[in-house]
Amino acid sequence: MAILFVVAVGPNAFAGVLAIAIGSTGMLGKMFSEIIESIDMQVVEAMQANGANRIQILFYAVMPQIIPEFLSYAIYRFEVDIRASSILGIVGAGGIGTIIIFASNNRNWNEMGTILLAIIIVVTIIDFASARIRRKIV
């Protein structure tokens, strides 16, 4: 996808953003639809039997079932996108990958090591934060 967008909009960060956005939107859309299809309809039917209107059913029967999984998948996809963004620069889609390529081409190993260390630290922090958020939600 990134190569297609590099050809379409040029070798810049916008191509990388488009590639990540298209992939993430498609995956999350599919996952969200699966989550919605798998809700427990007995809860919805029980609320209907007790006279709840559609808004009440949405907020008290449907949302509590889907929000934890929605957030869990969205946070996971965010983690994946952070990792992918560092690779996109290698194909010319901008981002931190471009800086890695420049450092490598100039044989500036200190700069390249610092960039890689920064990526590892950022990804680790995001992993810990998302694990903590998921633990509280689910």
pLDDT tens-digit series, residues 54-101: 999 999 999 999 998 898 888 888 888 888 887 777 776 667 777 888
Cα separation, 113 vs 20, in Å, equals: 25
Domain ranges within the chain, ordered by starting residue:
2-10+28-38+66-137
Q: How far apart are CA 125 and CA 94, in angstroms?
A: 23
Rounded to an integer, what is the distance from CA 99 to the centroid of its chain?
22
Q: How many whole angstroms separate alpha carbon 35 and alpha carbon 47? A: 20
pTM score, two decimals? 0.74
28, burial (CB in 10 Å: exposed 0-12, middle 13-18, buried 19+): middle
Task: Give per-residue pLDDT as tens, 1-47.
Answer: 778 888 888 877 788 888 888 989 999 999 999 999 999 999 999 99
CB 119 within 8 A of CB 103: no
Q: What is the pLDDT of residue 138?
A: 66
- Please count the other Cβ atoms lying within 10 Å of the Cβ belonging to residue 55: 8
C-alpha to C-alpha distance for 103 and 112, rounded to whole angstroms: 5
Alpha helices in the chain (DSSP H): 2-9, 13-37, 41-49, 54-57, 63-88, 96-105, 109-137
- Position 100 scores a pLDDT of 81
Specify the higher pLDDT residue, 138 or 67.
67
Better-scored residue on pLDDT, 52 or 88: 52
